Amino acid sequence: MQPGKILVSHHEDAYLIKLVGDVRVTLCTSLNNYIEAIFKDGHVSEVVTDMMDTDAVDSTTLGLLAKLALYCEEHYGIKPTVFCNDESIYQILTVMGLDEIFNIIQGPHEDDDGYEELS
């Protein structure tokens, strides 16, 4: 399992978050700060979380993603999308009910070379 990292990208009114490897609580302060920056933007049309290269996520990470989805629905009227191809991660997302607040797609997302790593 590769060490976790979080990559982000912002294009016009769209935000992209890519979770790579084993994403744990140690990365959540940076993720929370990025989510708070999204909340400060008054014009968000799309939020995508790419979990295609995710090996594992902990409950803190999933809680932050849920916080993001709930805020987006309430304040922007949008339902964020998650791309996930790992069956066990997909099952975790659905068992936790995250499929009710995210559009979950079990397939690839076009990779964007414009990601920056959160630190």
Domains in the chain (CATH in brackets) are 5-117 (3.30.750.24)
* Confidence tier at 119 by pLDDT (50, 70, 90): low
pLDDT in tens, 83-118: 999 999 999 999 999 999 999 999 776 665 667 777
Q: Quick one: pLDDT at residue 113?
A: 61
3-state secondary structure of 44: coil
Provide the strand spans (E) within the chain.
Answer: 5-11, 14-23, 46-50, 54-57, 81-83, 103-105, 116-117
114 burial class (0-12, 13-18, 19+ CB within 10 angstroms)? Answer: exposed
- Can you give the pTM of this predicted structure? 0.89
Mean pLDDT, range 57-84, rounded to an integer? 97
24, two tokens: 């744990």
33, two tokens: 């700060």
